[in-house]
Each structure stands twice: as structure tokens, then as C-alpha cells.
Structure 1
Amino acid sequence: MNANAPITPDVQLKQQERSRKRKAILAGGVVLGLGAAATLAAWSDDVFADGLFNTGAFELQGSTNGTTFADYDGPAGPDPAETARLSFNLDSETMTPSQTVYAPLTIATSLDSDHAGSFTLDSVEAAGKYAGVLTYRIFTEPTHGANCSAASAGNLSLVTWAGLPTGSPVNSPLPPVTLPLQVGANQAADPVPGRQHLCIAVTLGAVPPTALPVDPVRIANQLAVEVADAAAPTDENPTTVTWVFNGQSTDI
């Protein structure tokens, strides 16, 4: 065909018809494409879910007066008051053989503790010339210091993990079986599981003997103290006994 030859009406009509068909097909393709996209959007959707995770707090604290609590983390702790100094009902630095002194101690969680927990007596350490003479018992009581004295000690309940019924030497290993005591979260108040009120009783010698005028235990206690004095006659420093309580958090 000569490119310069004029286009006849029939040829021009055919070309226009083909052009219209192509446009219609393209337009139809666009419409079909939009329709397919809309259909897919109607049959698919998303749901998002997430969670927040962090650790809770658990801190065991002690109180020697039942109201003021501190961490008492020991020699490695950050606070100046590293160890709770127990306040015994009688002067524990002027004891006589067979005498027993009592001191209350309340253990609880801190105010910002999220979890409840339990604790046991982890260790007892003694340093001084009377370390081999002193014995101890640990009791529980309903409130701080309620019965923690010689006058009302008969109302105390002995803690099974704290020592043998006859008293445990402060320098002897702990019993192999321990039963934990429970404490509530956020320094929860009583009743249990809130705070645990303990009473620590220390005897210069074995557990207090009977009130008989002549008592073998009394005599044995006096002899034991005399032997300790003779072994270190120039040592006038008081013997230090340290009780360490270890706590573990529990789910609540």
C-alpha cells in the first residue's frame, strides 16, 4: 500500500472500528482489575495483638519494732544499717549461766513487692568466746512482741526449722529439713499470709533448766561458761550471733 495514497472511506471505517474495540478491551481490563481488587479487600482483614512483659519486685524486710522496716541486706548491702540489731528484753551483754533473753523480729515484704513469698532460716553464724556456749530457739507469735519475754514464753509456738526442741547451739549446722514461713505481697498486714512475727530466744548454756535448787543442767551451763572464760580470759568483747533469713518469691 502506498503511504501517500488517500485512505478510502471503507478502510478508514475499518481502522476506526478496530480502535474502538481496543479501547473497549483496555477499558474493560481496567474495570475488571478494579473489581478484583475490591473483592479481595472484602474477604481479607488483619487483627493485631501484643503483650507487655516485665519482672515483678520481691524484697524481704525486717523490723525490730513492728512498724519500721528496712532491707537489712547484711555486710554486702548498700545501706548503713546492714544488720538488724535485736533488742532483747534483758541486757544480753550481762547474762548469767542458764539465763534466757528474748527479742522480737517481724519479717515482711517491702511495700513495692508485687509478689508474696516464703522464707527460711538460711544460716546462723557466731563469733566470740561464748559461741560454743550459747543456744537459741525461734518462735512465732500473733503480733510483734506479744509473748516475747520470759514471763509469757509459754504461749509461743516453736518454729520447726529453727532448731531442736532442746535448743540449738549458735555455732552448729541447721537441721536438714526446713519448712518455710509465708509472707504476703506489698508488706501485707495480718492475718497470714501477711507478716511473720518471730521471737528469738537465746540462752547462755542449754535451754533453761528447771527451777530445782540443784539441777544438772544448771551446773553444766555454769561449767561450760567457766571453760569458755578460761579459754579466752582477756577477751572482753561480746559474742556476736547473726541469723540470716532467706526469702523466695511465689506466684499469687
Structure 2
Amino acid sequence: MSEVSSSGPSTRARKIRALLAGGLVLGVGAAVTLAAWNDSVFSTGTFESGSFHLEGSADGSTYAGHDTAASAADLEFSVDASNLSPGDTVSAPFAVRLDEATTYGANVVVQPSTTTGDVTGLTYSLSTTSAFGCEDPASADLVSAGTAFGTEAGTAAFDLAAGDGSAGEPVFLCFTVTAGDALQQGQSGTATWEFLGTSEA
């Protein structure tokens, strides 16, 4: 009796261990089978920025960046602006456009002018024109006549369209400077304007 009873549990234990071992083997086999069914798919994207650059022209044909005050375009006034007297009025055309690499349109705001030297007694206006030059009637006043340098609110603005692989259509401008009675003999001063463009998506 003791031999049978001692061998019975031992046999059952061996069977249980065999089943557990078999279960472990089956578990590993199932894991390998699942791994063999994994699959992947990939995608990639390339990202490039657009281009945005204003350029200006003082003669209506040659355009350049003029990106800083130091490289500002020199306006070509209709009358010698270096020999003014009270009552004189001088005008100069300018044009602004987007270069051929630009891929966005722009909103351009005329910033308040900065001055050096003495500009006492001088006021100006800024208008858009239908063609390059100041002979054509103004189509819109951006800065009203009689505005003193440096007092503008910085709200005068216009839009520029980008070209399709070529430079955008320019906006033509006319600066008109008037000398008032407060102008003094021998005075000399310089005004600089910034056209600040913001891209429009």
C-alpha cells in the first residue's frame, strides 16, 4: 500500500510538470507565431519654407533689395532738393514690388520716417500713382499733404501680389516735399522711409 501510494503522487507530479512544460513550450511557440505576423508601413514628408523679399526702384527699371537704412535708395527729385527756399515743392517717384523668388503676397506698411540733420519747415505727402513717375494723378493718398517728418502714425499701407516665377507687379509711389516759411538758410537734413512688408499666406 505504501509503495502504491508513494508512486501515485510522484506520477501525477510528473504529468503536471509535463503539462506545464508543454504549456510553456506552447506559449513560446505562440509568441513566435505572433511575431511572424507583424508588419509595418512607413511614410515620410519633406518640408521647405517659401521665400519673401521686397525690392524697390528709384528709376522704375532697376530694382534692388535696399534692405537697410544704410543701403536706402536715393530718391531722384524733379527739382534740385539741395537748393530749396520757402514755397518750393519737389517730387520723386519710387516703386516697390516682390522679387521673382517670393511665393507669398504682402501687406506693406509705410513706417514713420526717420531724420538726421535739420528738416525744420519741411512737410511731405505720399501717394500711389497709376504709372511710375509723379506726373499722373494720384490714385490714393497714403500720407496726407502737410505731414511733418517723423509724425506719421505708421498706418499707411498697401498690398503687393507675388508673381508666378517672376517679379510681382509693382506699386508706384510719389513723394512730394514742400518747404514752408520756417525753412532756414543753410539748413540740411535727410529723411528715410521704411516700407515694412508682412507676408500673407
Which of the five TM-score ranges fits, normalised by the shorter chain?
0.7 to 0.9
From 63, 74, 99, give the equivalent of 1:110.
99
> In 2, are the aligned partners of 1:96 and 1:204 still within 8 Å (CA)?
yes
From 135, 138, 141, give the equivalent of 1:156.
138
- The structure with the larger Rg is 1
CA 1:137–1:123 in 2, change beyond 3 Å: closer, same or farther? Answer: same
Q: How does 1:139-150 map to 2 (within 5 A)?
A: 139-145=127-133, 148-149=134-135
CA 1:158–1:99 in 2, change beyond 3 Å: closer, same or farther? Answer: farther
Distance 2:140 2:170 in 1: 17
Report the CA distance between 1:45 and its aligned residue.
5.0
Amino acid at match of 1:247: G
Distance 1:175 1:159 in 2: 14
Amino acid at match of 1:143: A
Aligned to 1:20: none
Aligned to 1:132: 120
> In 1, are the aligned partners of 2:96 and 2:171 still within 8 Å (CA)?
yes
Q: How does 1:1-252 map to 2 (within 5 A)?
A: 41=37, 46-75=40-69, 82-129=71-118, 131-145=119-133, 148-149=134-135, 152=136, 155-160=137-142, 162=143, 164=144, 166-170=145-149, 172-175=150-153, 178-186=155-163, 188-189=167-168, 194-205=169-180, 221=181, 224-225=182-183, 228-229=184-185, 236=186, 238-251=188-201
Distance 2:152 2:115 in 1: 13
Report the CA distance between 1:126 and its aligned residue.
2.1
Q: Give the number of equivalent residue pairs.
A: 171
4+ residue runs of structure 1 moved beyond 6 angstroms? none
3-state SS of the aligned residue for 2:178?
strand
Report the CA distance between 1:179 and its aligned residue.
4.6
Report the CA distance between 1:127 and its aligned residue.
2.3
3-state SS of the aligned residue for 2:81?
coil
Report the CA distance between 1:48 and its aligned residue.
2.5
Amino acid at match of 1:101: V
CA 1:101–1:247 in 2, change beyond 3 Å: closer, same or farther? Answer: same
CA-atom RMSD, angstroms? 2.7
TM-score (norm 1): 0.59
Give the % identical residues.
28
Report the CA distance between 1:184 and its aligned residue.
1.8
3-state SS of the aligned residue for 1:67?
coil
- Per-residue CA deviations over 1:123-163 (Å, capped at 9, x if unaligned) read 2022233x121101001012211xx04xx5xx113434x2x
TM-score (norm 2): 0.73
CA 1:47–1:139 in 2, change beyond 3 Å: closer, same or farther? Answer: same
List runs of 5+ in structure 2 lacking aligned partners: 1-25
- Per-residue CA deviations over 1:201-227 (Å, capped at 9, x if unaligned) read 11112xxxxxxxxxxxxxxx2xx12xx
Distance 1:174 1:116 in 2: 25
> In 1, are the aligned partners of 2:130 and 2:139 still within 8 Å (CA)?
no
3-state SS of the aligned residue for 1:167?
strand
Report the CA distance between 1:89 and its aligned residue.
1.2
- Per-residue CA deviations over 1:103-124 (Å, capped at 9, x if unaligned) read 1110011222222111111120
CA 1:179–1:202 in 2, change beyond 3 Å: closer, same or farther? Answer: closer
Report the CA distance between 1:237 and its aligned residue.
6.2
